[in-house]
Structure 1
Amino acid sequence: MTYQGVLKKMMTENAEQIQYYLDMNSDFLNVNQLLNKEISISFVKYECLNCHLEKPIYRQGFCKSCFFDTPNAGDWIMKPELSTAHLGIEDRDLAYEKSVQLKPHIVYLANSSNVKVGVTRKQQVPTRWIDQGAHEAIEIVEVPNRYLAGITEVALKEYVGDKTNWRKMLKNDIEDENLIAWREKLKKFIPDEAKEYFIENNSETHLNFPVIKYPVKPKSLNLIKTPNYTGKLVGIKGQYLIFEDETVFNVRANEGLVVAITI
């Protein structure tokens, strides 16, 4: 059976074991059901997630012109501290920016390869943590807009990391951390504008990924350089597919590629 569609990040459901789903246009695949099966992935063409034209993907699933035009790729996406909708100042599309930036946001600590600080909209908890491959996470601040979350993250990353080591995460080379203790340690570094939003009493969220076998030396599959790949799927973590030969494929990093998946 072959399924074809443009790659978008896998949708997830936080159950006893995280469930992963791929939207392949007219088909909807539960990726967990492919574990222990041999699958083939083939590159077919490009399709920009914004204009839907067959143009090379530049970043985040967009062609170059869309990346610099669509409000879905504004600088404030990656740098929340640049958000200006709370001031009524437009970046690319104020209505869109208000719809995203002026929603409750969470500043959190997550442990995927190490403890890191991050920002996400409240409605994206725990999806954001799943996408990062975090096995444990905790909310530390809940603020009414993206700007406050951004300046809090900037302040805290002076004292804690803000990046995930994807190889370490995929190897499951991790240690449990006391995130409540981390939260208390970082409390004093929260900017004055956000101090009132500190979350005093909550507990860690623990996440269980569907992995049969972790790779020792993960090697990343580049579908543009290797347009046809076949392997046995042995795990899913973050937005990565893990194969028995230690090849790993980052679905999110390949958004905008039309692929054929044969089972």
Structure 2
Amino acid sequence: MTYQGVLTKMETEFSHPIQYYLVFENDFINMNQLLDKTITIQFIGYQCLNCSLNKPIYRQGFCKSCFFDIPQAADWIMKPELSTAHLDIEDRDLDYEKKVQLKPHIVYLANSSNVKVGVTRKSQVPTRWIDQGAHEAIEIVEVPNRYLAGITEVALKDYVADKTNWRTMLKNEIVDEDLVEWRDRLKQYIPAEVLEYYIANNKETNIEFPVLQYPEKPKSLNLDKTPNYQGVLKGIKGQYLIFEDQTVFNIRGSEGYVIALSIA
């Protein structure tokens, strides 16, 4: 059976283990059902997630011209402390920025390769943690806008990591941490204007991923360099497919690529 479409990040369902769905325009696949099956991935072309043109993807699923123009790829996406909608100041599109920035946001701790701090909209919990491959996570503060979340993350970066080591995450070389203890330890570094939003009485969330075999030396599949690949699917973690031959494929990192996916 063969499916064809443009890649976007896998949809997830919080269960034990996490259920993953690859969604195309006219089809969707429950990827958990493909574990231990042989899958062929064939690169066909590009489709920018904004303009839909067959132009090389630059970043985040967008072609270069769209990336530097549309609000979905503005700097405040990756650096929430740059948000200005709460001041009624436009970056690229104030209406869009208000819709996203002026929503409840969470600052959290997640343990994927190590304990890290991050920011997400409240509506994206626990999806954000799943996408990062975190096996445990906890909320620290819940604030009314993205800016407050951003300045909190910046303040905490001096005391805890803000990046995930994808290789360590995929190899499952992780140590369980007491995230409640981490949360309480970091409280003293939260900016004064955010302290009222501190969450004092919550528990960490534990996440189980559908993985039969972790790679010892993960090697990343790049469709531009390897347009045809075949392998036995052994697991899914974060937004990565893990194959028996140690190959890993980052679905989210390949958004905007058009592929044919065949199942033996």
Q: Same fold (TM over 0.5)?
A: yes
In the other structure, the counterpart of 1:161 is 161
Normalised to the residue count of structure 1, the TM-score between the two structures is 1.00
Question: Which residue is equivalent to 1:9?
Answer: 9
The Cα of 1:24 is off from its aligned counterpart by 1.8
Q: Which residue of 1 aligns with 2:190?
A: 190
User: Aligned ranges for residues 3-82 of structure 1 at < 5 Å?
Assistant: 3-82=3-82
Alpha-carbon separation, structure 1, partners of 2:24 and 2:248: 20
Give the residue type in structure 2 aligned to 1:101: Q
Q: Distance in 2 between matches of 1:172 and 1:211?
A: 10
How far the C-alpha of 1:193 sits from its partner, in A, is 1.0
What amino acid does structure 1 have at the position aligned with 2:225?
K
Equivalent residue, structure 1, for 2:260: 260
Query: 3-state SS of the aligned residue for 2:160?
Result: coil
User: C-alpha deviations, 1:231-262, integer Å up to 9, x for none?
Assistant: 00000000000000010000000000000000
In structure 1, C-alpha distance between the alignment counterparts of 2:200 and 2:215, rounded to whole Å: 38
**1:144 aligned partner, one-letter code:** P
> Can you list the C-alpha shifts for 1:62-92, whole angstroms capped at 9, x where unaligned?
0000001111001000000000000000001
Aligned-partner Cα distance in 1 for 2:224–2:25: 21
Quick one: distance in 2 between partners of 1:125 and 1:115?
A: 17
Q: Deviations over 1:25-79 (max 9, x none)?
A: 2111101011010000010001000000000100000000000111100100000
| Distance in 2 between residues matched to 1:106 and 1:171, nearest whole Å | 28
Output the CA distance in 2 between the equivalents of 1:71 and 1:148: 19
Following TM superposition, where does structure 1 have runs of at least 4 consecutive aligned residues deviating by more than 4 angstroms? Answer: none
SS in 2 for 1:161: coil
**Residues 234 and 244 of structure 2 are in contact (CA less than 8 Å); yes or no, is this contact kept in structure 1?**
yes
Unaligned runs of 5+ residues in structure 2 are: none
Give 1:16 shift.
Answer: 1.6
Instruction: Give matches, 1:1-263, under 5 Å.
Output: 1-263=1-263
Per-residue displacement from partner, 1:166-202 (whole Å, max 9, x unpaired)?
A: 0000000000000000001100000011010000100
- Gaps in structure 1 of 5+ consecutive residues: none
Deviations 1:125-161 (A, max 9, x none): 0000000000000000000000000000000010000
- Percent identical pairs in the alignment equals 76
Distance, in Å, in 2 between the alignment partners of 1:24 and 1:260 is: 11
CA contact (8 A) 2:6 2:255 kept: yes
Secondary structure of 2:20's match?
strand
Residue correspondences, number: 263
What SS does structure 2 have at the residue aligned with 1:107?
Answer: strand
Q: Which amino acid aligns with 2:9?
A: K
CA distance, structure 2, for counterparts of residue 84 and residue 24 of structure 1 = 34
- Check conservation: 2:16, 2:209, Cα contact below 8 A: no
Equivalent pair of 2:13/2:19 in contact (CA under 8 Å): yes
Root mean square deviation, CA, Å:
0.4
